[in-house]
Chains A and B, each alone.
Chain A
Amino acid sequence: MARQSALKDSTQKKSATTLRDVGDAKAKHLAPNLDRLIHERMRLGIVSALAANESLTFNDLKSLMNTTDGNLSVHARKLEDGGYIACTKSFEGRLPKTEYKLTLAGRRALENYLSHMETLIHQMRNS
Protein backbone atom coordinates (compact mmCIF):
# COMPACT_ATOMS: atom_id res chain seq x y z
CA MET A 1 0.00 0.00 0.00
CA ALA A 2 2.76 2.37 1.05
CA ARG A 3 4.76 1.28 -1.97
CA GLN A 4 1.78 1.99 -4.27
CA SER A 5 1.40 5.44 -2.78
CA ALA A 6 5.12 6.12 -3.16
CA LEU A 7 4.91 4.98 -6.80
CA LYS A 8 1.90 7.27 -7.41
CA ASP A 9 3.75 10.21 -5.83
CA SER A 10 6.80 9.55 -7.92
CA THR A 11 4.71 9.33 -11.14
CA GLN A 12 2.90 12.62 -10.29
CA LYS A 13 6.21 14.32 -9.52
CA LYS A 14 7.70 13.05 -12.76
CA SER A 15 4.76 14.25 -14.88
CA ALA A 16 4.83 17.66 -13.16
CA THR A 17 8.54 17.96 -13.80
CA THR A 18 8.01 16.95 -17.44
CA LEU A 19 5.30 19.58 -17.91
CA ARG A 20 7.53 22.15 -16.31
CA ASP A 21 10.41 21.10 -18.55
CA VAL A 22 8.20 21.57 -21.62
CA GLY A 23 7.30 25.10 -20.49
CA ASP A 24 10.85 25.87 -19.58
CA ALA A 25 12.15 24.52 -22.87
CA LYS A 26 9.73 26.82 -24.69
CA ALA A 27 10.70 29.73 -22.51
CA LYS A 28 14.43 28.99 -22.53
CA HIS A 29 14.89 30.07 -26.12
CA LEU A 30 13.94 33.56 -24.92
CA ALA A 31 16.51 33.56 -22.13
CA PRO A 32 19.60 34.25 -24.29
CA ASN A 33 17.90 37.48 -25.46
CA LEU A 34 17.62 38.75 -21.88
CA ASP A 35 19.28 42.08 -21.26
CA ARG A 36 22.02 40.98 -18.88
CA LEU A 37 22.83 44.56 -17.92
CA ILE A 38 19.55 45.08 -16.11
CA HIS A 39 18.85 41.44 -15.29
CA GLU A 40 21.03 41.76 -12.18
CA ARG A 41 18.90 42.61 -9.11
CA MET A 42 20.62 45.79 -7.95
CA ARG A 43 20.78 47.26 -11.46
CA LEU A 44 17.15 46.30 -12.10
CA GLY A 45 16.23 48.10 -8.87
CA ILE A 46 18.17 51.24 -9.82
CA VAL A 47 16.52 51.40 -13.25
CA SER A 48 13.04 50.76 -11.77
CA ALA A 49 13.50 53.46 -9.10
CA LEU A 50 14.65 55.96 -11.71
CA ALA A 51 11.73 55.06 -13.97
CA ALA A 52 9.36 56.24 -11.22
CA ASN A 53 11.23 59.51 -10.62
CA GLU A 54 12.56 62.27 -12.81
CA SER A 55 15.91 62.02 -11.01
CA LEU A 56 17.37 60.68 -7.78
CA THR A 57 20.56 61.57 -5.93
CA PHE A 58 23.20 59.01 -5.00
CA ASN A 59 22.08 59.18 -1.36
CA ASP A 60 18.39 58.75 -2.28
CA LEU A 61 19.23 55.64 -4.31
CA LYS A 62 21.48 54.28 -1.56
CA SER A 63 18.68 54.68 0.97
CA LEU A 64 16.04 53.25 -1.40
CA MET A 65 18.10 50.22 -2.39
CA ASN A 66 19.39 49.76 1.16
CA THR A 67 22.93 49.23 -0.04
CA THR A 68 26.48 50.49 0.50
CA ASP A 69 28.27 53.33 -1.30
CA GLY A 70 30.67 50.92 -3.00
CA ASN A 71 28.02 48.50 -4.22
CA LEU A 72 25.80 51.26 -5.58
CA SER A 73 28.61 53.06 -7.36
CA VAL A 74 29.81 49.84 -9.06
CA HIS A 75 26.34 49.03 -10.42
CA ALA A 76 25.52 52.64 -11.30
CA ARG A 77 28.80 52.88 -13.24
CA LYS A 78 27.88 49.76 -15.25
CA LEU A 79 24.48 51.22 -16.13
CA GLU A 80 26.13 54.53 -17.00
CA ASP A 81 28.67 52.78 -19.24
CA GLY A 82 25.78 50.98 -20.94
CA GLY A 83 24.08 54.33 -21.60
CA TYR A 84 21.03 53.42 -19.47
CA ILE A 85 21.45 56.16 -16.89
CA ALA A 86 23.02 59.61 -16.98
CA CYS A 87 24.99 61.02 -14.08
CA THR A 88 25.50 64.70 -13.27
CA LYS A 89 27.82 65.94 -10.56
CA SER A 90 27.37 69.33 -8.98
CA PHE A 91 27.80 71.15 -5.70
CA GLU A 92 25.03 72.04 -3.29
CA GLY A 93 26.70 74.71 -1.23
CA ARG A 94 30.01 73.05 -0.45
CA LEU A 95 28.72 69.50 -0.60
CA PRO A 96 29.15 67.42 -3.77
CA LYS A 97 25.90 66.11 -5.22
CA THR A 98 25.61 63.20 -7.66
CA GLU A 99 22.32 62.93 -9.49
CA TYR A 100 21.10 60.12 -11.73
CA LYS A 101 18.48 60.16 -14.46
CA LEU A 102 17.16 57.37 -16.65
CA THR A 103 18.05 57.87 -20.32
CA LEU A 104 15.73 57.07 -23.21
CA ALA A 105 17.80 53.93 -23.89
CA GLY A 106 17.39 52.93 -20.21
CA ARG A 107 13.62 53.41 -20.32
CA ARG A 108 13.38 51.34 -23.50
CA ALA A 109 15.58 48.64 -21.96
CA LEU A 110 13.27 48.43 -18.94
CA GLU A 111 10.18 48.28 -21.19
CA ASN A 112 11.80 45.51 -23.26
CA TYR A 113 12.76 43.64 -20.11
CA LEU A 114 9.18 43.89 -18.80
CA SER A 115 7.70 42.58 -22.03
CA HIS A 116 10.32 39.81 -22.05
CA MET A 117 9.24 38.72 -18.56
CA GLU A 118 5.56 38.85 -19.57
CA THR A 119 6.27 36.72 -22.65
CA LEU A 120 8.02 34.13 -20.51
CA ILE A 121 5.01 33.94 -18.18
CA HIS A 122 2.47 33.76 -21.06
CA GLN A 123 4.45 30.99 -22.77
CA MET A 124 4.42 28.95 -19.59
CA ARG A 125 0.67 29.50 -19.06
CA ASN A 126 -0.14 28.48 -22.64
CA SER A 127 1.96 25.31 -22.50
Chain B
Amino acid sequence: MGSIHLVVPQKEEPPALHERAMDNLKYIRETMERATAFTGISGWGQVAIGFTALVSASISAQQKTFKAWLAVWMAEALIALLIAGWSIDRKARAAKMPLLSGPGRKVAFSLSPPIFAGAIVTIVLYRAGLTNEIPGLWLLLYGTGVVTGGMFSVSVVPIMGLCFMALGAVAFFAPAEYANWLMAAGFGGLHIVFGVIIARRYGG
Protein backbone atom coordinates (compact mmCIF):
# COMPACT_ATOMS: atom_id res chain seq x y z
CA MET B 1 0.00 0.00 0.00
CA GLY B 2 1.45 3.35 -0.99
CA SER B 3 2.03 6.08 1.58
CA ILE B 4 -0.17 9.12 1.60
CA HIS B 5 1.50 12.52 1.08
CA LEU B 6 -0.19 15.68 2.09
CA VAL B 7 -0.10 18.06 -0.82
CA VAL B 8 0.08 21.64 0.33
CA PRO B 9 -0.58 24.09 -2.49
CA GLN B 10 2.25 26.59 -2.85
CA LYS B 11 1.09 30.10 -2.07
CA GLU B 12 1.79 32.65 -4.75
CA GLU B 13 3.67 35.56 -3.29
CA PRO B 14 2.01 38.93 -3.78
CA PRO B 15 4.01 41.21 -6.08
CA ALA B 16 6.60 43.34 -4.29
CA LEU B 17 5.88 47.04 -3.82
CA HIS B 18 8.46 48.12 -6.39
CA GLU B 19 6.94 45.74 -8.96
CA ARG B 20 3.54 47.27 -8.39
CA ALA B 21 5.11 50.73 -8.64
CA MET B 22 6.67 49.86 -12.02
CA ASP B 23 3.37 48.40 -13.19
CA ASN B 24 1.55 51.60 -12.15
CA LEU B 25 4.06 53.80 -14.00
CA LYS B 26 3.62 51.66 -17.12
CA TYR B 27 -0.15 51.94 -16.81
CA ILE B 28 0.00 55.75 -16.48
CA ARG B 29 2.27 56.02 -19.51
CA GLU B 30 0.11 53.72 -21.65
CA THR B 31 -3.11 55.51 -20.67
CA MET B 32 -1.58 58.90 -21.50
CA GLU B 33 -0.35 57.59 -24.86
CA ARG B 34 -3.76 56.13 -25.65
CA ALA B 35 -5.49 59.35 -24.61
CA THR B 36 -3.14 61.45 -26.74
CA ALA B 37 -3.69 59.21 -29.75
CA PHE B 38 -7.40 59.51 -29.10
CA THR B 39 -7.44 63.25 -29.80
CA GLY B 40 -3.99 63.47 -31.38
CA ILE B 41 -5.21 64.34 -34.86
CA SER B 42 -4.99 68.08 -35.29
CA GLY B 43 -8.23 69.68 -36.47
CA TRP B 44 -6.61 72.96 -37.52
CA GLY B 45 -3.96 70.98 -39.41
CA GLN B 46 -6.73 69.32 -41.38
CA VAL B 47 -8.37 72.67 -42.09
CA ALA B 48 -5.03 73.92 -43.48
CA ILE B 49 -4.71 70.78 -45.63
CA GLY B 50 -8.26 71.34 -46.87
CA PHE B 51 -7.46 74.88 -48.01
CA THR B 52 -4.26 73.86 -49.81
CA ALA B 53 -6.24 71.06 -51.50
CA LEU B 54 -8.84 73.57 -52.74
CA VAL B 55 -6.04 75.73 -54.20
CA SER B 56 -4.50 72.63 -55.81
CA ALA B 57 -7.88 71.63 -57.27
CA SER B 58 -8.32 75.02 -58.92
CA ILE B 59 -4.74 74.91 -60.30
CA SER B 60 -5.04 71.32 -61.52
CA ALA B 61 -8.36 72.12 -63.26
CA GLN B 62 -6.45 74.49 -65.57
CA GLN B 63 -3.88 71.89 -66.62
CA LYS B 64 -4.00 70.70 -70.22
CA THR B 65 -2.26 67.33 -69.79
CA PHE B 66 -2.74 64.50 -67.33
CA LYS B 67 0.96 64.63 -66.40
CA ALA B 68 0.64 68.27 -65.32
CA TRP B 69 -2.57 67.48 -63.40
CA LEU B 70 -0.79 64.61 -61.64
CA ALA B 71 2.22 66.83 -60.79
CA VAL B 72 -0.06 69.39 -59.09
CA TRP B 73 -1.70 66.74 -56.91
CA MET B 74 1.67 65.11 -56.10
CA ALA B 75 2.92 68.47 -54.85
CA GLU B 76 -0.28 68.84 -52.84
CA ALA B 77 0.25 65.38 -51.28
CA LEU B 78 3.74 66.44 -50.18
CA ILE B 79 2.48 69.72 -48.70
CA ALA B 80 -0.37 67.88 -46.91
CA LEU B 81 2.09 65.37 -45.46
CA LEU B 82 4.29 68.15 -44.10
CA ILE B 83 1.32 70.03 -42.60
CA ALA B 84 -0.07 66.83 -41.03
CA GLY B 85 3.31 65.88 -39.50
CA TRP B 86 3.91 69.38 -38.16
CA SER B 87 0.41 69.80 -36.72
CA ILE B 88 0.30 66.36 -35.04
CA ASP B 89 3.77 66.99 -33.60
CA ARG B 90 2.63 70.37 -32.28
CA LYS B 91 -0.44 68.88 -30.61
CA ALA B 92 1.59 65.98 -29.17
CA ARG B 93 4.16 68.42 -27.76
CA ALA B 94 1.38 70.50 -26.18
CA ALA B 95 0.28 67.32 -24.39
CA LYS B 96 3.97 66.62 -23.50
CA MET B 97 4.00 63.40 -25.52
CA PRO B 98 6.73 62.68 -28.08
CA LEU B 99 5.44 62.39 -31.67
CA LEU B 100 6.46 58.78 -32.12
CA SER B 101 5.29 57.56 -28.72
CA GLY B 102 1.67 56.98 -29.66
CA PRO B 103 -0.33 59.19 -32.00
CA GLY B 104 2.29 59.66 -34.71
CA ARG B 105 3.18 55.98 -34.80
CA LYS B 106 -0.45 54.84 -35.00
CA VAL B 107 -1.36 57.32 -37.73
CA ALA B 108 1.80 56.44 -39.69
CA PHE B 109 1.21 52.68 -39.42
CA SER B 110 -2.44 52.88 -40.42
CA LEU B 111 -2.14 55.43 -43.23
CA SER B 112 1.05 54.31 -44.93
CA PRO B 113 -0.04 50.85 -46.22
CA PRO B 114 -3.05 52.16 -48.25
CA ILE B 115 -0.99 55.15 -49.46
CA PHE B 116 1.80 52.82 -50.58
CA ALA B 117 -0.79 50.61 -52.32
CA GLY B 118 -2.28 53.73 -53.93
CA ALA B 119 1.12 54.81 -55.27
CA ILE B 120 1.74 51.39 -56.84
CA VAL B 121 -1.73 51.10 -58.38
CA THR B 122 -1.46 54.69 -59.69
CA ILE B 123 1.66 53.68 -61.67
CA VAL B 124 -0.13 50.55 -62.96
CA LEU B 125 -3.24 52.52 -64.04
CA TYR B 126 -1.09 55.24 -65.63
CA ARG B 127 0.83 52.67 -67.68
CA ALA B 128 -2.42 50.97 -68.68
CA GLY B 129 -3.86 54.32 -69.78
CA LEU B 130 -6.68 54.15 -67.19
CA THR B 131 -5.98 57.60 -65.77
CA ASN B 132 -9.69 58.40 -65.22
CA GLU B 133 -9.76 55.84 -62.42
CA ILE B 134 -6.96 57.49 -60.42
CA PRO B 135 -9.04 60.12 -58.50
CA GLY B 136 -11.51 57.43 -57.33
CA LEU B 137 -8.63 55.20 -56.27
CA TRP B 138 -6.96 57.97 -54.25
CA LEU B 139 -10.16 58.97 -52.46
CA LEU B 140 -11.06 55.34 -51.72
CA LEU B 141 -7.63 54.32 -50.39
CA TYR B 142 -7.10 57.51 -48.39
CA GLY B 143 -10.53 56.93 -46.83
CA THR B 144 -9.52 53.35 -45.99
CA GLY B 145 -6.40 54.61 -44.17
CA VAL B 146 -8.41 57.22 -42.26
CA VAL B 147 -10.99 54.63 -41.21
CA THR B 148 -8.34 52.20 -39.92
CA GLY B 149 -6.25 54.93 -38.25
CA GLY B 150 -9.42 56.49 -36.88
CA MET B 151 -10.30 53.36 -34.93
CA PHE B 152 -7.79 54.55 -32.28
CA SER B 153 -9.27 58.02 -32.34
CA VAL B 154 -12.43 60.00 -31.73
CA SER B 155 -15.51 58.73 -33.59
CA VAL B 156 -15.62 61.61 -36.13
CA VAL B 157 -12.31 60.45 -37.68
CA PRO B 158 -13.55 57.07 -39.01
CA ILE B 159 -16.76 58.83 -40.13
CA MET B 160 -14.60 61.20 -42.19
CA GLY B 161 -12.82 58.16 -43.65
CA LEU B 162 -16.15 56.62 -44.66
CA CYS B 163 -17.14 59.87 -46.40
CA PHE B 164 -13.87 59.74 -48.39
CA MET B 165 -14.59 56.13 -49.34
CA ALA B 166 -18.10 57.07 -50.49
CA LEU B 167 -16.70 59.92 -52.61
CA GLY B 168 -14.15 57.51 -54.07
CA ALA B 169 -16.92 55.10 -55.06
CA VAL B 170 -18.86 57.97 -56.66
CA ALA B 171 -15.72 59.10 -58.54
CA PHE B 172 -15.35 55.65 -60.12
CA PHE B 173 -18.81 55.84 -61.66
CA ALA B 174 -19.13 59.59 -62.28
CA PRO B 175 -18.13 61.16 -65.64
CA ALA B 176 -14.38 61.93 -65.85
CA GLU B 177 -14.93 65.74 -65.92
CA TYR B 178 -16.30 65.62 -62.35
CA ALA B 179 -13.23 63.82 -60.98
CA ASN B 180 -11.24 66.96 -60.14
CA TRP B 181 -14.22 68.49 -58.30
CA LEU B 182 -14.79 65.30 -56.35
CA MET B 183 -11.11 65.51 -55.32
CA ALA B 184 -11.75 69.12 -54.23
CA ALA B 185 -14.87 68.04 -52.30
CA GLY B 186 -12.92 65.25 -50.56
CA PHE B 187 -9.40 66.51 -49.91
CA GLY B 188 -10.63 70.11 -49.59
CA GLY B 189 -14.21 70.07 -48.28
CA LEU B 190 -14.16 67.02 -46.03
CA HIS B 191 -10.85 68.04 -44.42
CA ILE B 192 -12.17 71.52 -43.67
CA VAL B 193 -15.56 70.39 -42.30
CA PHE B 194 -14.20 67.57 -40.12
CA GLY B 195 -11.13 69.62 -39.18
CA VAL B 196 -13.34 72.34 -37.71
CA ILE B 197 -15.40 69.73 -35.81
CA ILE B 198 -12.25 68.10 -34.36
CA ALA B 199 -10.62 71.44 -33.51
CA ARG B 200 -13.71 72.75 -31.72
CA ARG B 201 -14.44 69.56 -29.79
CA TYR B 202 -10.94 68.25 -29.05
CA GLY B 203 -8.70 71.20 -28.34
CA GLY B 204 -7.14 72.24 -31.64
Interface residues of A (CB under 8 A from B): 17, 20, 23-24, 27-28, 31, 41, 44-45, 48-56, 60, 63-64, 110, 114, 116-118, 120-121, 123-125
The interface stretch among B27-35, B108-116, B163-171 is B27-35
What residues of A have a CB within 8 angstroms of the CB of B5 in the complex? Answer: none
Q: Is the interface of B mostly helix, strand, loop or mixed?
A: helix
Q: Separation in Å of the B80 CB from the closest CB of chain A? A: 25
Quote the shortest CB–CB distance from A89 to chain B (angstroms).
16
CB pair A56–B17 under 8 Å, yes or no, is no
Given contacts A23-B17, A49-B34, A64-B34, 7 further A-B contacts (CB under 8 A): A49-B32, A52-B96, A64-B31, A64-B38, A118-B21, A120-B18, A121-B18
Q: Which residues does chain A contribute within 8 Å of B39, judged by CB atoms?
A: 53, 56, 60
Set of chain B residues within 8 Å of A110, measured between Cβ atoms: 28
- Least CB distance from B10 to A in Å reads 11
Is the C-beta of B7 less than 8 angstroms from some C-beta in chain A? no
- Verify B35–A64 contact, CB threshold 8 A: yes
Contact yes or no, A120 B31, CB < 8 A: no
A20 and B35 form a contact (CB under 8 A):
no
B32–A120 touching, CB < 8 Å: no
Q: How far is the CB of B35 from chain A (nearest CB, A)?
A: 4
Instruction: Provide 28 A-B residue pairs closer than 8 Å at the C-beta atoms, listed in order of the A residue.
Output: A27-B18, A28-B17, A31-B17, A41-B27, A44-B27, A44-B28, A44-B31, A49-B31, A49-B38, A52-B96, A53-B36, A53-B38, A53-B95, A55-B203, A56-B35, A56-B39, A60-B38, A64-B31, A64-B38, A110-B28, A116-B21, A117-B22, A117-B24, A118-B21, A120-B17, A120-B18, A121-B25, A123-B18
